[in-house]
Amino acid sequence: MLSFQPKCWSEHGELKVVMLTPPSKLDVPDLKTAEDVQWGNPVNQEIAHENHAELKAAIEAEGIKILDYTEELSERDRQLSEQLINRFFVRDLACAFGEILLPGEAGISMRRPEYVQSHLIMEKWFSNDVFKLRENNDVKALEYGDVLILNKDAVFINVGIRTSIESVERVKDQLFEAGFSEIGIIDLPRRSDTLHLDMNCNVAGNDLLVAKSYLRYFPVNVITKDTSRFEMTERFLTRHGFEVYWLTEYDTIPDINFFNLNPETILLSKKAHKQMLKEHPKLKKKKFIEVEVTELEKGGGGIRCMTLPLLRED
């Protein structure tokens, strides 16, 4: 077992431990293949590995410990893993809710092997009291790119292409037992550019959330242990202390899918419109660390998708 226990009560607390996994060894050689595997563009894995090395170096430079579950796979499992083109999108595999770690379940079958492999390693890393693997056998589709931990009170979840409402119903009691009092459930359009919640909005601090402007038109089903009601997205977020920075123009992956290293530092793609983000007064004084991840982003996800926080200090 590892020498720490998972803990995350927010998306912006000081990051201490994160999971990061390198990309596959298989190129995606042309647009037809990319479309068939649900990627945006062809990918040269040699360049993708260079991007990954830069991402890893930027995180380590901030004193953050990086774990890679693939380093502990058997030789046979490693041979399979190195051919799984989505394996570097580790965000979806599990999520630390407070002081428990819940496994996810792949929304598409081609991603299922990496979930199985990573969960078996995490089961070795953490005790059964922390990593709730066996309690989630009935979960059908639950990818944690669809989850934002707003604060110690509230979790925001999208049910859409990759996460089912039945799965949220299955895990909601565990979230309440972990200490959260509300779960906000939104149902966003089922398109490639709205694949996960973190391609539509993202926490940028303890009191600011960046979001595509169309989200203001969507209701949120707010559930507690005993009640269920609806309120609009902005009302739900502001009630939990967040101002919303509505974006009307954006490049989905680099602009929305950034990653908080601590309350003052955001890691983002070199393709992100940094000046647009800095137009908001609460972001002007933030430290922005830019990394080249263009080749990795062609797989359809950004830096947040590539990182799984395991320990944050709030």
pLDDT one-digit tens code per residue, 187-201: 999 888 888 999 999
| 135 vs 201: CA distance, rounded Å | 29
**Which residue has tokens 């991402």?**
55
Model-level pTM?
0.96
Output the average pLDDT for the chain. Answer: 96
Q: How many residues does the chain have?
A: 314
Q: What is the dihedral sign for C-alpha 213, 218, 219, 220?
A: negative
Q: Could you report the per-residue pLDDT of 78-108, keeping only the tens digit for each?
A: 999 999 999 999 999 999 999 999 999 999 9
Tell me the H-state helices in the chain: 31-36, 45-60, 75-81, 112-125, 165-178, 233-239, 252-256, 274-278, 294-297
Q: Which two structure tokens, joined as six digits, stand for 253?
A: 């992956």
| Per-residue confidence in pLDDT tens, the chain, 314 aa | 898 999 999 999 999 999 999 999 999 999 999 999 999 999 999 999 999 999 999 999 999 999 999 999 999 999 999 999 999 999 999 999 999 999 999 999 999 999 999 999 999 999 999 998 876 667 789 999 999 999 999 999 999 899 999 999 999 999 999 999 999 999 999 888 888 999 999 999 999 999 999 999 999 999 999 999 999 999 999 999 999 999 999 999 999 999 999 999 999 999 999 999 999 999 999 999 999 999 999 999 999 999 999 999 98
For residue 299 the two structure tokens come to 């797989």
Q: Which residues have C-beta within 8 Å of that of residue 168, sequence separation ≥ 6?
A: 142, 157, 159, 183, 185
Contact 99, 5 (CB under 8 A): yes
Separation of alpha carbons 131 and 197, rounded Å: 23
Both tokens of 279, joined, read 């137009």
